[in-house]
Amino acid sequence: MHFNFSTGDVLWTLTFAAALVLLVVLLGRDRARVFPWFTTSVVLIALRMLVARLLFPRLPQLTVAEIYLPMADISAIVSLLVVVEIARRAFAGAGRRVWMAATVLLLAVGGAVLALWGVWPSFKTLFAASLISALRVMQLFAEKADLLSNVLIILVGLLVVLFGRNFKAGWHSHTQQLAIGLSMASIAQLTIRGVVEHIGNAIHSQADYTRAIGLRSSLNTANGIFYLVVLLWWIVCMWIDEPGTEKQGTGISE
């Protein structure tokens, strides 16, 4: 029997398996109770991967959009809630003024990135009375919310690394480990997104288009490999207890 697996097939299988193992670790080690929104985001990642794999090749494009875009919107909202969850756990001891100042600063930076990065369609295009327009609104929301969550988690991750040890996100804490992984994944995603957009703007011929498609495929593969590494790192980190955690029933510290 001959099996013909592409690089994409292998990468999808490993990533999906890693997401499932991470869920098992989060639930089995009682991390889901501490990080419920992060756990929800992992569930949505696995679900979207499964839907894309099983349904997309078998359904019309419009039907695919009707199924996938609501899931993308929900995932984008959950990603923003993950940012809030990480920030609240990392800086639980911070004063109200510090929280307000940091929130305003982060939202200002995120808002600036949203305004300057990407094209905003016209009002008429978005709000025309048609199914296509509704799908475009959903797609725009998913893209912009995802961009905002990526920018915010990078900033929160930086703050956690710099100041987390003064609060509740010291070295080797689960909060810091999640923040670092999320930040690295977001940096990789935004970098590749920026490169792809730059390449798209430089297309002037069929040869340029062919090269751009090949380069985009390679970049997406690299991004997938990087995210797989992040998943594996989370699996290890979430399995190991935080420093100072006592084993139940023994009183022995890790």
Please tell me the least confidently modeled range out of 81-85, 138-142, 161-165, 200-204: 200-204
Compute how many other C-beta atoms are within 10 angstroms of the C-beta atom of residue 68: 20
For 156-170, what is each residue's pLDDT tens digit?
999 988 887 877 777
The residues near 42 (Cβ < 8 Å, ≥ 6 apart) are 19, 22, 23, 26
User: Distance between CA atoms of 221 and 225, rounded to whole angstroms?
Assistant: 6
pLDDT score at 126? 66
For 168-197, what is each residue's pLDDT tens digit?
777 788 999 999 999 999 999 999 888 877
First to last CA, the chain: 49
CA dist 9 → 5, 12, 173 (Å): 6, 5, 34
Query: Do the beta carbons of residue 168 and residue 89 sit within 8 Å?
Result: yes
Say which residue, 97 or 17, is predicted with more confidence: 17
Helix (H, G, I), strand (E, B) or coil at 253: strand
Of 236, 233, 240, the C-alpha closest to 254 is 240
Average pLDDT, the chain: 84
Query: Do the beta carbons of residue 135 and residue 67 sit within 8 Å?
Result: no
Question: Sorting pLDDT into bands at 50, 70 and 90, what band is 115?
Answer: confident
Which residue type does 214 have? G
pLDDT score at 248? 42
Say which residue, 209 or 134, is predicted with more confidence: 134
User: Distance between CA atoms of 209 and 25, rounded to whole angstroms?
Assistant: 43
Which residue type does 12 have? W
pLDDT score at 200? 72
Mean pLDDT of 44-51: 91
The residues near 6 (Cβ < 8 Å, ≥ 6 apart) are none
Question: Sorting pLDDT into bands at 50, 70 and 90, what band is 25?
Answer: very high
pLDDT score at 128? 67
Question: Sorting pLDDT into bands at 50, 70 and 90, what band is 198?
Answer: confident
pLDDT score at 208? 65
Question: Sorting pLDDT into bands at 50, 70 and 90, what band is 250?
Answer: very low
What's the number of CA atoms in the CB half-sphere (13 Å) around residue 210?
Answer: 3
